[in-house]
Each structure stands twice: as structure tokens, then as C-alpha cells.
Amino acid sequence: MNAELIAVGTEILLGDIENSHARYLSQEFSKLGISVYHHSAVGDHLGRVVEQVKLALDRSDVIVITGGLGPTDDDVTRKGVADACGLPLCFDEAAYAMHVVPYFDQIGREPKPVQKRQAERVGAAVFLPNERGTAPGQYLEWQGKHLFLLPGPPLEMRGMFASSVRPLLVKIAGTGTIASRVLHLFGIGESAAEAKVLDVLQAQTNPTIAPLAGEGEMLFRITAKADDVAHAKAMIAPVEAEMKARLERYIYGYDEDTLASVAFRRLAKRHARVGFAESCTGGMLSSMLVDLPGSSEVFAGAVVAYDNRVKTDLLGVDQGVLERFGAVSEETAKFMAEGVRRRLVCEIGVGVTGIAGPGGGTDEKPVGLVYVAASDGAVTHVERYVFPGSRAQVRLRAAKAALHMVVNLLNDLEVKK
């Protein structure tokens, strides 16, 4: 059994909002052992909605359509599905009283006549209650196909999926599930990583292995389909072990891990705090750590040392070092890391300095050149990088490299303990 997701809304095509439904629903379908083969988005245009639904009916068993269930003229999902299936669209007074009116009673308002559109039933569809809004969903079984019409707002859609759609899908799909294990890598490119496990990739059947590249990092997703989660995980285990044996030096985390979350856990485990001295990253590195709840336990603070005077006055970077080697240099990064560690009285100090571009580069020091240093008071490590990409990409990759250095430094300390 396979599924298809269709998001209805011109605002998605214009880029005004993100289609967050696709990721959520794909993950939920995987848990049920239903493979999602197609994602698509279509504007609020009746003809195009009809065309997209017809295409989905030709190739998919389960079709989930999100959005376009409101009361206005541009909410065309109900009509689009009805036309695509050749079914009538009829107002249901009982459904209106049960699913639409109570919401307005709850907020102390009278529904306008236009709200009746939300109680228009597609053929013999079953209405799905919406506990967070006015638009009920619908489930239609038609010629062996299963169509779900769900509201666009994420809180409404997710609540309806959990309470109404998932139980129906369990009955439709029967037994079976999909489980995944994700390996997160840093410090190796996609082609180089694939070369190390090429024979494993070429031999894949079930489990399958999917390499995915990100900004400055990559991941391998190992996915198995089986009768239950335990069996699926047992199938994944030997493949994961083989991948780890070949790529372990580059693997920093698993599943939902990020460089920031792994650094946070390592710091918390050692009851250590970190301080950042940021130049080219301009606070981005600090923001990535502060995004995590509880970061105050491990984050002492930061100095955004963009100007050389800040480097000398606040971080103690030697003026002679700046004059001889420059602000973007191994020596300056080292002084920044050691200086911020002393200044903020923390166990680990990190310094980042570089040329984010698009201008300012030379043959000797090109755009994308970044030095990252990390100091624990006894040892200071410095790495040189030349990151490709735009200014934003260089800054993001530099911040990730700094977090990765923190992880490696803490791992080394753990080994020495």
C-alpha cells in the first residue's frame, strides 16, 4: 500500500508559508508501514486541484489532501475531490449542527451563512471532527481508494490525524511498520562517505539506505519494513554496525541529534560550561546552542569580537599577533579561544574567525577561509577550513565546525579520564 500527500494553498506555492505537513505526515505513515511515494502542492484553483486528485487516484492507494476546507470561495478542496471522483457535493444539516455550530457556540459568536460550506459532504464521505477549528475533515472510500481531506492549520491537522485518521489507517493497512535509524556525520563529503560504503549501498534491499547531504554535514538513513518495530530494528542493527565500522570517526550522533544537542549533552555530562568568541559567525554559534532548552546550564556567554579592538581589549589578543598574522589566522583564533575561556571563567573556550564574503578575500586568504579553535585550559586545538558557498553558508558551516570541535574535545577528555 502506498500513499500520496497533496497540499492545497497558493500561499505554499508563493513561499509565504512552509509545507510542514509533508514531513509530519510522512513520518506518521512510516510508523504505520505505509510508504509515501509522492508529495505535491497545488494552488487554490479548482481545475488544478481536480487534475492533481485524478493523478493521485491513478497511482496511489491512500491520498491525504491538506488545506482548502474553509468557508471562502478559494477553499476548493471539497469541490475538487467531488469533481475528480464524479460525486455530488451536498450540504449536510446534521453535520453542520454537529461539527460547525458547536465551535461558534464555544466562542460566543453566531456562524455566518458562508460557514455552511464547511458541512458540504463529498459523496458518502464520513465527517472527521475538528476539535481546534471550524472545518471538519472528511474520509472517503471510493473505488478501493482512501481519501482524507484535512484542514490546513497545523494544530488542527495534527490533532485530527491523531484522533481520527491514524485509527482508520491502522484498519486499512493492517499490520506492518517502518523503522529508521539515522547516522549523522561531520567532516566528510557525501561522495567520499558513499565511496566508503558503496558495496553496502549497492547490496541494499530491505533495509534501504539513503544518503542525504546538509550544510557542512550529511546523514545516512537506514530504513527497514517489517511486521513490527522490534523486527524492523533487528534488521537495521547489522547494517548500522557495518556502517559504523567504516564511518565511526565521522559519526557524531543519531536520529534526532544535531551538533548543538550533542555538544549540549557532552557539556552537561561533564558539568562543564563553554564560552564563545565569535567574529565571522556574529552570534550564530551562540544562537544554535541557546535554542536548546536548559542551555543556561552549559553556556557561560559569548563575545562577538568583530572589530580588532574588541579582540584585543576584551579577549586579550596580542596586537603584535594581529599585525603579523592578521585577524583571520590560526594564531588569532587560538588567542580568542583562550581569552574567552579566561574572561568568562568557563571550562572550554571557542574562537571563530574567518572571511565570510562575498568580498575581502585574497589569494593567500580566500573567501570562505575560517579558523576555529577550542581550549580546555591545558590544550588548544585549531583547525583551518575553506568553506564553499554564500556568506550565509560559510557562517553556518563555521558555526557547525565549532560545535563539532567542542564535541571532539569533550570526547577526548572523556577518553583520558
Distance CA 133, CA 155 (A): 9
Give the residue range(s) of CATH 3.40.980.10 domains in the chain. 2-173
Q: Look up residue 11 and give its DSSP letter.
A: H
Alpha carbon 53 to its chain's center:
27
C-alpha cell at 379: 590544550
Higher pLDDT, 412 or 301: 301
The letter for the amino acid at 263 is: A
Greater confidence, 28 or 87?
Answer: 87
Residue 69 has pLDDT above 80, yes or no: yes
- Banded pLDDT at 417 (limits 50, 70, 90): low
Distance (Å, rounded) from C-alpha 178 to C-alpha 32? 7
- Please state the rounded mean pLDDT for residues 49-68: 98
What is the per-residue pLDDT across 15-44, written as a single tens digit (0 to 9) for each? 999 899 999 999 898 878 788 999 999 999
pLDDT bucket at 102, cuts 50 / 70 / 90: confident
Check pLDDT > 80 for residue 63. yes
Q: What percent of the chain has pLDDT over 70?
A: 99
- DSSP-derived pairing of the beta strands 251-254 and 274-278: unpaired
What pLDDT is stored for residue 307 in this prediction? 96
Confidence grade of residue 338 (pLDDT, cut at 50, 70, 90): very high
Task: Please name every residue paired with 64 in a beta bridge, in sequence order, or none if there are none.
Answer: 5, 148
Choose the CATH number for 2-173 among 3.40.980.10, 1.10.490.10, 3.40.50.720, 3.90.1150.10. Answer: 3.40.980.10
Q: Return phi, psi of residue 414, to 5°.
A: -65, -40
Element (H, E) at 300: strand 299-304
| CATH match of 259-416 with 3.30.70.360 | no
Taking CA atoms, 408 is separated from 45, 270, 405, in Å, by 53, 13, 5
For residue range 129-178, what is the model confidence (pLDDT) as tens digits?
998 888 999 999 999 999 999 999 999 999 999 999 999 998 888 767 77
User: Which tops the pLDDT comparison, 226 or 380?
Assistant: 380
pLDDT of residue 415: 67
Per the structure block, which three cell numbers stand in for 27? 513520518
For residue range 103-138, what is the model confidence (pLDDT) as tens digits? 888 888 888 999 999 999 999 999 999 988 889 999
Angle of helix 391-416 versus helix 259-269 axis, rounded to 10: 30
pLDDT per residue as tens digits for the range 305-327: 999 999 999 999 999 999 999 99
Which residue type does 412 have?
A: D
Q: What's the mean per-residue pLDDT of the chain? A: 94
Q: Out of 7-21, 99-113, 250-264, 377-391, pick the least confident.
A: 99-113
State which amino acid sits at residue 316: G
Amino acid at 227: D
Bridge pairing between strands 62-66 and 2-8 = parallel
Alpha carbon distance 144, 83 (integer Å): 17
Residue type for 226, please?
Answer: A
For the chain, helix (H) and strand (E) counts, in that order, are 17, 17
Task: Average the pLDDT over each of 106-120, 279-293, 379-393 and give the range with the smallest value.
Answer: 106-120
CATH of domain 177-254: 3.30.70.2860
What is the pLDDT, as a whole number, of residue 413? 77
Phi and psi for 37 in degrees, rounded to 5?
A: -100, -25
3-state secondary structure 362-378: CCCCCCCEEEEEEECCC
Quickly count: other Cβ atoms within 10 Å of residue 170's Cβ: 12
The boundaries of every CATH 3.30.70.2860 domain in the chain are: 177-254
- Specify the DSSP class assigned to residue 97: I
Query: Where on the phi/psi map is residue 369: left (φ > 0), alpha (ψ -120 to 50), or beta?
Result: beta
In this predicted model, which residue has the larger pLDDT, 405 or 31? Answer: 405
Which of 72, 67, 73, 89 lies closest to 5 in space, CA to CA? 67
CATH 3.90.950.20 domain span(s) along the chain: 259-416
